Chains A and B, each alone.
Chain A
Amino acid sequence: MMKFAVVSFPGSNCDEDLYYAIKDDLHEAATIVPHTTTDLSGFDVVLIPGGFSYGDYLRSGAIAKFAPVMPAVKTFAQAGRPVLGICNGFQILTEAGLLPGTLQHNRQMQFICEPEPLKVENNQTMFTSAFQDQQQITLPIAHGEGNYYCDEATLMRLRENHQIAFTYQNNPNGSVSDIAGITNEAGNVLGMMPHPERAVETIQGGTDGLLVFKSLLQAHLRTV
């Protein structure tokens, strides 16, 4: 069994969605680990869920980046092992410096909760290999601060290194270059605002999200 850790911070609210997506739909092993965990070495993947960690006080992700679990997340990422941050998890990973850029308030100041058409920009990552190149998919978004921002130099680097994993087809929030999800340069850390764990069963309106987790499983099976 592939072992997924779902890190739960005070204020996380998508941790159980992720847990059940892994357990009931991917049929692999999931464990919700508290923010006080200091060792993640027994896991194959670390998932940072959505929600409002620490109430989004100061800035979204600004307090979570100092949580006791974060040194272990950084060690895990620096070892080249997969780390996936979804929504607030993406915000936490940028604040922690594991991904470049920042998630700002949506340009229209509205919280958006909609199924959102996306495009897979890079299917050559461990998170996207189960998708077709340039595949058009739909995943739900649910955020008030999902407007990805980075400076020109960073954007050039993202493009040159093929770090843009997902883009919006109809940019809903003002993100630079329609960015919905990016990886780090090494390709083992992905942050994305859309929620793949909310699109894993047909009753949810679609199963495109399951392919993110299947990609991780395929990558894992190639290494064991």
Chain B
Amino acid sequence: MFLAQVHVTYKPSILDPQAVAIKNAMHRLAFDQVTAVRQGKYFEITLDVSTAEEAESQIEAICDQLLANPNMETYRYEVKELANQ
């Protein structure tokens, strides 16, 4: 069993109005040193596969087809083997 931790974020060129709203809220809370915020999505995906390579190729296919929109998002991930239960 493998656990993939996947982060999907907007490409730097993409406007992220939610993050701007969150940054403004931080400033209202007097966290004036905050200069930039980016918001993304985080997924934990457990796969019943036997090798890390297999987990990685499936995660990439899942990200390309579903989790990330290639027009505006990128993704990165880490895969780790889970100890036997």
Residues of A within 8 A of B (CB): 58-59, 62, 66, 94-95, 101-102, 104-109, 147, 149-151, 174
A106 to B16 alpha-carbon distance, docked (Å): 10
Q: Which residues of B contact A59 (CB under 8 A)?
A: 69
Q: Is the CB of A62 within 8 A of B69?
A: yes
7 A-B contacts, Cβ less than 8 Å apart? A58-B41, A58-B66, A58-B67, A62-B66, A102-B69, A107-B15, A109-B18
Interface size class of B (residues with CB under 8 A): 10 to 19
- Interface SS, A side: loop
Q: Is the CB of A149 within 8 A of B71?
A: yes
| Nearest B-chain residue to A110, judged by Cβ | B17
A109 to B15 alpha-carbon distance, docked (Å): 11
Q: Is the CB of A108 within 8 A of B14?
A: no
| Nearest A-chain residue to B43, judged by Cβ | A58
Counting residue pairs across A and B whose Cβ atoms lie within 8 Å, the total is 34
- The smallest beta-carbon distance between A200 and chain B, in angstroms, is 32
Residue among B14, B17, B67, B72 making CB contact with A106, cutoff 8 Å: B17
A147 to B16 alpha-carbon distance, docked (Å): 12
Residue among B18, B66, B67, B71 making CB contact with A105, cutoff 8 Å: B18
Residues of B within 8 A of A (CB): 14-15, 17-18, 20-21, 41, 66-67, 69, 71-72
Q: Which residues of A contact B67 (CB under 8 A)?
A: 58
- The smallest beta-carbon distance between A142 and chain B, in angstroms, is 18
Q: Is the CB of A174 within 8 A of B15?
A: yes
Q: Which residues of B contact A147 (CB under 8 A)?
A: 15
- The smallest beta-carbon distance between A23 and chain B, in angstroms, is 35
- The smallest beta-carbon distance between A165 and chain B, in angstroms, is 20
Q: Is the CB of A101 within 8 A of B71?
A: yes
Q: Is the CB of B18 within 8 A of A104?
A: no
- The smallest beta-carbon distance between B8 and chain A, in angstroms, is 9
- The smallest beta-carbon distance between A169 and chain B, in angstroms, is 22
Q: Which of A59, A62, A106, A109 has the most CB of B within 10 A?
A: A59
- The smallest beta-carbon distance between B51 and chain A, in angstroms, is 27
A62 to B17 alpha-carbon distance, docked (Å): 20
| Nearest A-chain residue to B16, judged by Cβ | A105
| Nearest A-chain residue to B21, judged by Cβ | A109
A95 to B18 alpha-carbon distance, docked (Å): 21
